[in-house]
Structure 1
């Protein structure tokens, strides 16, 4: 730490209690008012390395790009905002005052090349008269006005319902006061009336039933019973036994179906208490295998000579050596520094190393360590594993699945539920996300003595490994965790929870989205109050109003207080002086390390009053490391919000804004055309949500490569169209005069060189298919105990690829393509062209969609913030298979949403 930092006073500068009228007036002169401005949208956000900015030093060595969120449904946990909901209070992260860290970001000094959102990314045409930014701002403003009316209408409905309930209760109370004689008569009268009504209803149903098909008249089970009876009477001997067997199977299938079709979402009112379960049984956790020491030829070299060490130290060296191919980590100075510190600590504990003669070798310098022999050994093992026959891989997987089967499910209140992460994390080097300050630290092996088991009182406690015991056995019915332990890197508690597709996890998601729906009733009052308090005299009120504005309008995370040993990540409430730059008249530039130590950069236009407030919050004597919102904490903000609605926290705004926006876009949508076109319409709406809610990402490193592959596929189909047209000419040369020469010409951008390369690629593709099929058939023969086919068979099969190669050569030489297939005709060619045209169109739509999505995190919005029931509504309304939006894993996760709504449901 420098002398200047040492001399800095420990007491941070703080804003005054109130804002004087003179300060307000002075600021008003500097900043022209823009009235009650429409909600802003992000102007620029994207890869930091594409911006001409002064890069701040962070906790790592290099600025990391923001990772794409859930682009392929990889994980739910990364973006989950409700991870801690079921964690015991005493185990949640303790909060402390923000620490002074010398690695804090420096202020952003200039931004000359902001990344502008394109027309396509906005889902609009670029040649419209209204600028795109203004168009989206107008949409946002329109939806907010709609939200205000909706909130007022909902509160009116609630008030009316409460009045009716009160009147009903009063009527009931009045009835209790009636004379006893009068009371006795009433039930009899009611019974008589009800009986008459029932008879009338039955008569009507019998009459209506005449037009109903027989299969639908009787209840399903009754029909089934009658069918069984009819089937059983003529059956004799084996036939009778077969029928009985089928009946039994039907009953079992019916029971299984009933088990699967348990609709917990229809009974959520019963699960509002704190008790989450009554009975809980499970088999504990699966531990990683013990470390196996390296062979002599794979030992680490120190100063050029191989050394042996204690297995605990060697395990850490093995962890580093095995990831030499991950240059992002092993070339990161922070990663190296942390690794070597932990490695040396273990070496000191275990007596360092020995050379081949048994002499002690003290390892003191990282530069003298050579981990290449370890990597070579690990890589050879990886390649050997990859080269295993498919049958062997299948066998190994089956054995592993069989061992883990008892741990994969638990019994929760008598219902079988899938367990999520039942495997204890193996030891290894911590990587972290973004610029984590502890990257490279050694994650120690977790022992049973560190693990607490949560299970029912009457259940059998799972047996720990031999010679070990569990840390503690609990019966916490308020938690949904099955086991927990504390890891050594960040001191965080790891929990074994149920799988994402379990009832309990589904209920958690359901509650999250229902909470956002409830916010609809109060959003107008909250917005009205914070717009008013933006001009409040009290500093605490003005800071709170400004923070809610930023959270509501720009989807900033609230941010939690951090301890001294935690990564210096921030959110809205914990923003520091250097994290925002103000550019008159109304632009705010955010630049800080956000969730998971990923750099958050965003440039937004704000209301003039908000800009003025931020300028006041940054007034001298405030300087670097001082808090912007020094009168506000996340807990204080959430406590204030709960005054409007029970359970309301800052994070609910993100879910509400995304779902409300999507809901309105879907109502206005009139999607037509093919399924790919409808999918694109959905993605365009999703993209608008992502932009309006600022769910953006940097362009993936593989994006250009993926786009190139897609372009190759489109060009291959266009060339195929050209071939079919040439075959049409071969069948009927008169077609050239009829359709024109241009119709049959090779597309301009597909020249002769491209055709030659494409032919070579097609031939190679066929060779690969033949080879793979040959290998697969040989594996099957070996598995069945038969002899493998000889290489000669493969050579014979390869002749087909050789013939194709020769055919292409002749075609290029003659410039003519002969008709193929049985009974070729012009009509058949036309049918082929239609199919190819549809495939080209579909691929072009997908290509355009992918290009438009490169800077927008559609997955983040769709999975975490847009109510999944809205996606189901789109699917049902426009007849698009739900598989086009949700992968198998997501369909299991959102099973409750798929089964609980129809196309008429509204958020």
Structure 2
């Protein structure tokens, strides 16, 4: 059996070869409409009239997952994970065939809706294009993608031609991948000339780890590093600094690891490692005696271990999409009943035994009411009290927040052990609702330096094991009970190690640009190969390259039925002649992936061949292919190339190409420049099929933005009326209608807006009063009396009276302020015009982005250095693109490139 053969039991399997008669028969049955530029999601609603395949569901009764707020372990709040397929640092003995539920690193497979029938359409603004014209919108984007791919092919050819010129004629295109012992020896004289030529050549695109610097180059590099470090230090000083930052600066100079790329290339990741282990969640505190779960209307008392599981369910009654899910209910009650059986069930108030056997008779509402009251009380705490509690918590956790890695202080990412609770999963996970048991110290393995002091386990406990694994970047590890997955405590996203991982990921994508042209030429030819395994492999690479499909891995029987390209089954692919393919399956994290795409006619024909009878539902489409076999084939083009690298490359290369076409315009506002960037990002997201559901709050947000714009327009109107009071002759000098109230802002709207302004002023005063009182108490003073609040409220009352007086005078607006002048008022009107324009740009941008996941592309797939280049080239603060967390994560990118850097 070949490496790419799949030995899974199948109802039907493709033949080894494809006969000419079958090829010819398929050609006759497909009516081609000529060349089709692939790679564009059609996303166009109903798919009626298919005469090849009947649309089918996914085997999940039409429900492909429900959307829930994405969260990270231990309460972290950002979604900036890189591709979580990277597990090079995980011990080999702990690796599983597949990944279990992990933090979501992208949203391209986010469910559209429960029981959704149509995915959202891509509109003209969403791809930064103007609707209309002679060509259909889809065709315009297809042409743009074709042009970008042609540029990529030319670039790859140019790079490889340049590299070939430095090699002997006898060497093959792939000699750089051949082991040294297999290479023909090079004469000393020729080698010297070759090294000299390489040193003199422009090798910006060559991975830094492969460059061979000369002594002169090394000296120049050292000088440049010193200058860069000096500039970096100067820049840091301009930013807000904490005492901790200053102390760190005193201890050591900034470590610019990206200027020392050789660091971390070996298998040893650290020499010395010290840390303090993990923080365990607090033990469960039984509910107060008056708070009981009801069974068949009767309050019952349970063993704390059983009550804890009931508490887990009761506390999340507000999460209806979980607690009303039949699978969630079944799994929860199964684990709950198992614990009840162990602890002899429950008792009523008289001590009589109560056997809990039916979920329907359980009433968790009293538990929820108690938990909700606790939550509200916590929210209502004064700011000073919240600050005090946070300070106490931070003080307790401070020893765990940092570790010493090779003598350098590094922040630890997730040092808290996950508390017990009900497993939620993502999408339609079969184990949703099961009880995550409390992790005990006896389950935990510590990874630490041999010379370091091993952290002490909790009293009366011991660690499972203490290791000194210098090849791993994990600090602590344990196995959870739901999926048997291993959880790791790693360094924070802004640590050197995490930064190096991101850096290598994007450098690998840059390396792919040298080979992409040849890869595409090869798989295009192999689409017609007579060998089934070769044709299936070529078709899979085509789909992965053009439509950003994941490669897919095999799943165990107890895991979610999630698939990728290589594991697509008969029912996941629907064909509509002449060239449309409809994908409908559960992708990563059990989230529905639905897409309707146009493909090359040969690919359409191949898929039809792969689905030939006797294949039916449940049979694999790519039955001669495995992910490992596919990646082994790809690695022949360049070391380390796998299917997932294509997603990063395609996103980064497309973004780089679009940014190169942009020219700085000093007349543009910051908001307009940000929109230019987002327009390019949007094209990348659509080309890479990164879609998302329109947020439930989108309509309300847009309405709020509209109200804000109207409020600014009303301010303009008031200022213009004041100008007329000061100089009535202006009415003849200004254009007609200049002083009129905008038509859509009628009297009813104005009155409602004025009332809202008064109420907003009252809220502002009240909040300021409460904040000042809290500060007084914190400083040991006395609270201000309610009379002080009444005095402050006079400002709001005066505003209300002013509006009333204006209506009594027929809406006449008096001049506000003693020093008002026509010039000042006119300047204020112009300033408001700028604000209105900015708000409209923001609104348009937000509307365009409602169905496209820009964050997925920007954070995980577009090289962050491209965003930095745009920021510097167009003079836009990096804060407009990267949050504080992302700025820490991509610190290496921000400090390592200037506006001339090229992907």
Deviation at 1:796, TM superposition (A): 1.9
Equivalent residue number for residue 867 of structure 2: 871
2:230 and 2:497 map into 1 onto residues whose CA distance is: 30
Equivalent residue number for residue 327 of structure 2: 334
Task: Verify the 8 A CA contact 1:68 1:857 in the aligned structure 2.
Answer: no
Q: TM-score, normalised by structure 2?
A: 0.86
Task: Verify the 8 A CA contact 1:47 1:698 in the aligned structure 2.
Answer: no
Equivalent residue number for residue 486 of structure 2: 493
Task: Verify the 8 A CA contact 2:70 2:79 in the aligned structure 1.
Answer: no
Equivalent residue number for residue 878 of structure 2: 882
1:854 and 2:850 aligned: yes
Equivalent residue number for residue 181 of structure 2: none
Residue deviations 1:571-629, cap 9 Å, x none?
10111101011011110001111111111110000010000000111111111111111
State which of 369, 391, 395 in structure 2 corresponds to 1:398: 391
Equivalent residue number for residue 120 of structure 1: 125
Task: Verify the 8 A CA contact 1:40 1:553 in the aligned structure 2.
Answer: yes
Deviation at 1:159, TM superposition (A): 2.8
Deviation at 1:260, TM superposition (A): 5.6
Equivalent residue number for residue 828 of structure 1: 824
1:740 and 1:645 map into 2 onto residues whose CA distance is: 67
Task: Verify the 8 A CA contact 2:36 2:598 in the aligned structure 1.
Answer: no
Deviation at 1:709, TM superposition (A): 1.1
Q: Name whichever of 647-656 and 26-35 sits farther off.
A: 26-35
Normalized per residue, the structure richer in helix is 1
Structure 1 360/372 Cα, relative in aligned 2: closer, same or farther at 3 Å?
Answer: same
- Counterparts of 1:145-164 in structure 2, within 5 Å, are 145-162=150-167
Structure 1 120/318 Cα, relative in aligned 2: closer, same or farther at 3 Å?
Answer: same
Q: Name whichever of 262-271 and 881-890 sits farther off.
A: 262-271
Task: Verify the 8 A CA contact 2:65 2:591 in the aligned structure 1.
Answer: yes
1:170 and 2:179 aligned: no
Deviation at 1:868, TM superposition (A): 0.4
1:95 and 1:858 map into 2 onto residues whose CA distance is: 27
1:676 and 1:830 map into 2 onto residues whose CA distance is: 23
Equivalent residue number for residue 230 of structure 1: none
Deviation at 1:846, TM superposition (A): 0.5
State which of 316, 338, 352 in structure 2 corresponds to 1:359: 352
Deviation at 1:254, TM superposition (A): 9.5
1:685 and 2:686 aligned: no
State which of 66, 82, 94 in structure 1 corresponds to 2:97: 94
Q: TM-score, normalised by structure 1?
A: 0.86
1:719 and 1:36 map into 2 onto residues whose CA distance is: 55
1:769 and 1:658 map into 2 onto residues whose CA distance is: 45
2:89 and 2:149 map into 1 onto residues whose CA distance is: 33
Equivalent residue number for residue 272 of structure 2: 279
Deviation at 1:559, TM superposition (A): 0.7
Equivalent residue number for residue 234 of structure 1: none
Residue deviations 1:388-435, cap 9 Å, x none?
111111000000000000000001111110000100000111111122
**Secondary structure class of the residue paired with 1:44:** coil
Deviation at 1:58, TM superposition (A): 5.3
Task: Verify the 8 A CA contact 1:81 1:651 in the aligned structure 2.
Answer: no
1:799 and 1:278 map into 2 onto residues whose CA distance is: 67
Equivalent residue number for residue 144 of structure 1: 149
Task: Verify the 8 A CA contact 1:70 1:859 in the aligned structure 2.
Answer: no
Deviation at 1:257, TM superposition (A): 6.7
1:42 and 1:429 map into 2 onto residues whose CA distance is: 37
Structure 1 24/62 Cα, relative in aligned 2: closer, same or farther at 3 Å?
Answer: closer
2:230 and 2:149 map into 1 onto residues whose CA distance is: 48
Deviation at 1:92, TM superposition (A): 1.3
Structure 1 782/54 Cα, relative in aligned 2: closer, same or farther at 3 Å?
Answer: farther
Equivalent residue number for residue 84 of structure 1: 87
Equivalent residue number for residue 906 of structure 1: 902
Structure 1 134/39 Cα, relative in aligned 2: closer, same or farther at 3 Å?
Answer: same
Task: Verify the 8 A CA contact 2:348 2:354 in the aligned structure 1.
Answer: yes
- Counterparts of 1:222-261 in structure 2, within 5 Å, are 256=249, 259=252, 261=254
**Secondary structure class of the residue paired with 1:742:** coil
Residue deviations 1:526-573, cap 9 Å, x none?
111100110010110111000000000000011110000000111101
State which of 671, 674, 677 in structure 1 corresponds to 2:669: 674
Q: Which has the larger radius of gyration?
A: 1
Equivalent residue number for residue 643 of structure 2: 650
Structure 1 410/59 Cα, relative in aligned 2: closer, same or farther at 3 Å?
Answer: farther
In structure 1, stretches of 5+ residues that fail to align are 1-8, 97-109, 175-196, 202-215, 225-248
Task: Verify the 8 A CA contact 1:46 1:697 in the aligned structure 2.
Answer: no
2:612 and 2:155 map into 1 onto residues whose CA distance is: 40
Q: Name whichever of 739-748 and 439-448 sits farther off.
A: 739-748
Q: Name whichever of 344-353 and 133-142 sits farther off.
A: 133-142
Q: Name whichever of 268-277 and 411-420 sits farther off.
A: 268-277
Structure 1 168/861 Cα, relative in aligned 2: closer, same or farther at 3 Å?
Answer: farther
Q: How many residues align?
A: 816
Deviation at 1:818, TM superposition (A): 0.9
State which of 563, 576, 596 in structure 2 corresponds to 1:570: 563
Residue deviations 1:837-879, cap 9 Å, x none?
1111011001000100111110000000000000111111111
State which of 768, 771, 785 in structure 2 corresponds to 1:773: 768
Residue deviations 1:169-201, cap 9 Å, x none?
437889xxxxxxxxxxxxxxxxxxxxxx9xxx9
Task: Verify the 8 A CA contact 1:298 1:374 in the aligned structure 2.
Answer: yes
2:419 and 2:796 map into 1 onto residues whose CA distance is: 47
State which of 789, 793, 797 in structure 1 corresponds to 2:792: 797
2:447 and 2:880 map into 1 onto residues whose CA distance is: 39
Structure 1 57/649 Cα, relative in aligned 2: closer, same or farther at 3 Å?
Answer: closer
Equivalent residue number for residue 698 of structure 1: 693
Structure 1 867/454 Cα, relative in aligned 2: closer, same or farther at 3 Å?
Answer: same
Note the aligned Cα RMSD (angstroms): 3.0
Task: Verify the 8 A CA contact 1:61 1:334 in the aligned structure 2.
Answer: no
State which of 289, 292, 304 in structure 1 corresponds to 2:285: 292
Structure 1 282/309 Cα, relative in aligned 2: closer, same or farther at 3 Å?
Answer: same
Structure 1 696/255 Cα, relative in aligned 2: closer, same or farther at 3 Å?
Answer: closer
Structure 1 745/155 Cα, relative in aligned 2: closer, same or farther at 3 Å?
Answer: same
Residue deviations 1:780-835, cap 9 Å, x none?
22222222111122122212211111111222332111111231111001110111
Deviation at 1:40, TM superposition (A): 3.0
Equivalent residue number for residue 21 of structure 1: 20
State which of 542, 552, 556 in structure 1 corresponds to 2:535: 542
Task: Verify the 8 A CA contact 1:593 1:599 in the aligned structure 2.
Answer: yes
Task: Verify the 8 A CA contact 1:671 1:681 in the aligned structure 2.
Answer: no
In structure 2, stretches of 5+ residues that fail to align are 1-7, 48-53, 100-114, 170-175, 177-184, 194-215, 220-225, 235-241
2:767 and 2:248 map into 1 onto residues whose CA distance is: 43
Structure 1 575/260 Cα, relative in aligned 2: closer, same or farther at 3 Å?
Answer: farther
Deviation at 1:154, TM superposition (A): 1.3
2:819 and 2:45 map into 1 onto residues whose CA distance is: 56
Q: Name whichever of 73-82 and 257-266 sits farther off.
A: 73-82
Equivalent residue number for residue 815 of structure 2: 819
Equivalent residue number for residue 203 of structure 2: none
**Secondary structure class of the residue paired with 1:592:** strand
Residue deviations 1:632-684, cap 9 Å, x none?
11111001101111000000000000000011111111242111111110000
Deviation at 1:95, TM superposition (A): 5.5
1:660 and 2:665 aligned: no
Structure 1 485/46 Cα, relative in aligned 2: closer, same or farther at 3 Å?
Answer: farther
